[in-house]
Amino acid sequence: SVVFTDVANLNASLDGQQVTVRARVHTTRKKGKLAFAVLRDNTDSVQAMAAAGDDTPKELVDFIGQIPCESIVDVVAVVSKVEAPITSTSQTDVELKILKIHVVSEALRVLPYTIEDAARREDAEGIKINFDTRLACRWMDLRSQAANAIFKIQSRVGQYFREFLIDQDFTEIHSPKMISTASEGGAGVFKLGYFGRDAYLAQSPQLYKQMAVQGDLKRVFEVGPVFRAENSNTHRHLTEFVGLDMEMAINEHYYEVLDVAEALFGFMFVKLLKHTKELEAIRAQYTFEDLVFQVTPETIAELGIGIIDENVPSTDEYLARIHNRERRMIRIPYAKCIALLNTILENKLEETEDINTANEKLLGTLIKKRYGVDWFISDRFPSACRPFYTMPCPDDERFTNSYDMFIRGEEISSGAQRIHDPELLLARAKSLNVDLTPIKDYVDSFRLGAWPHGGFGVGLERVAMLYLGLSNIRYASLFPRDPQRITP
Ligand code: 4AD
């Protein structure tokens, strides 16, 4: 059997050796008796050539010249060290002298758009291919280095989320996605036919992760699809996204949940910094500033918080530092956020009023200016803005034991302590006009002795979008689903 050599492994030490390489044809060019092809394999590329002469028939040169770009080929060639570096390819010190070439899979001669179109910088001059056109042929779009790298980073987010939580004794669960009622209450739920009955696509694993805690799993997490039938046509809403959810029993205070959230994100962000090759590839197309999560000494002085350093400590160490308040991200009570906003807003907000998207962005800017960070947590949200299952603050019912986490002024995660007293849950639902009859089972799950508990949910695409400073969540969704798009 033939041994294939990857493009990435071609280098001057193979000078004079015969190799077989499978790659994509990036470009071809014919000039008289010469044919050149750049062969590409993901981020690696090499120049290959053939010169008609004694051992090389003219037919080979002609054949190479007409292979459509993006075709997959097998090339048998001799590696040849070059004098001057070839700067247009990743393998700068060698080229291939083609002996044989076989087209494994031929691409269309006319492509819907070129890889250069897909890779064009957002701020580039000239005609740009519209993102919708790119998405319509996503398998082509993904071949650009930046798009490819975005999904490598996204995969790492999932990996670090799992790694951290498993290390902290969390159990991964898989809750049903076809359920009998809305999980987050209200509208925004996709309806299904289910053998003559109605069923719905889960808006989150919320109710099920709570019931899993009551099944004595106690610390659980899930990575899975989440469906939202909201007709939100924005840069940050999808109708299907990947939910990263966790739920845990708590002892004294819902800050135990926040501590885990904070340590988990700190861990993920610092780990992500190490993927410089991918980050640079993304930055080359989508300019973004590094996320600032290092807190300045002035901020520590004002808020009594610490710094997450760039050496990734063990997850236990992270948690210990946070518990000891040596390491702490900025946590700002909701009321203080309102006060901050009111320093510049003309129409002043009430303490119990919702902060809309525009004001969230503004708040992000204010906090960046004042405390120097892109990442912060706001807690004690007003009851009216939170779902029915959220625990009210024991000292003031108008507020809840809940938080949102923001990056660059946009929500990345929301979480809270949940109500574990069935009577309080019923009373709360009633005051919010939520009918709990269809989820009687959920309410009953707290009647057999219930652990006090809390948790949070994060959107995977939101993490990738905001960490990478992308202007649209669709860049971070493999095949985005939004109100306008359900193909490909
Ligand atoms: O804020 P959400 O709706 O909260 C819940 O689902 C709760 N059950 C979570 C909890 O445990 N309390 O969604 C959680 C996160 C948001 O912070 C956001 O990152 C993401 O999911 N998200 C979306 N991402 C993309 N498109 C949408 N339409 C999203 N809606 C929420």
Q: What is the mean pLDDT of each run of 10 residues along the chain (488 residues)?
A: 95 97 97 96 96 92 97 98 95 97 97 94 85 96 96 98 96 96 79 94 96 98 97 96 98 91 89 93 92 72 53 68 65 89 95 93 91 86 93 94 94 97 96 89 97 98 96 97 97
Residue of 475, 147, 466, 476 whose CA lies nearest to 292: 466
Residue of 468, 461, 459, 462 whose CA lies nearest to 244: 459
Pocket test of ligand 1: the residue of 462, 466, 475 to mutate, having most ligand atoms within 8 Å of its CB, is: 462
Ligand 1 closest atom vs CA 209: 11
Just list the catalytic residues.
228, 230, 236-237, 411, 414, 462
Question: What is the pTM (predicted TM-score) of this model?
Answer: 0.93
Residue nearest to atom 12 of ligand 1 (CA): 415
Residue 164 CB coordination number (10 Å)? 23
Ligand 1 closest atom vs CA 241: 25
What pLDDT does 186 receive? 66
What pLDDT does 307 receive? 44
What pLDDT does 376 receive? 85
Name the strand (E) or helix (H) holding 378.
strand 375-379
Helix residue ranges per DSSP H, 324-421: 334-342, 357-371
Please, are residues 263 and 170 in contact by the beta-carbon 8 Å criterion? Answer: no
Q: Ligand 1 center to residue 355 CA distance, Å?
A: 16
Q: Ligand 1 center to residue 413 CA distance, Å?
A: 6
CA distances from 140 to 26, 39, 71, 351 (A): 12, 16, 12, 49
Pocket of ligand 1 (CB under 6 A): 184, 204, 206, 228, 237-238, 241, 245, 411-416, 455-459, 461-462, 473
Q: First vs last Cα of the chain: how many Å apart?
A: 37
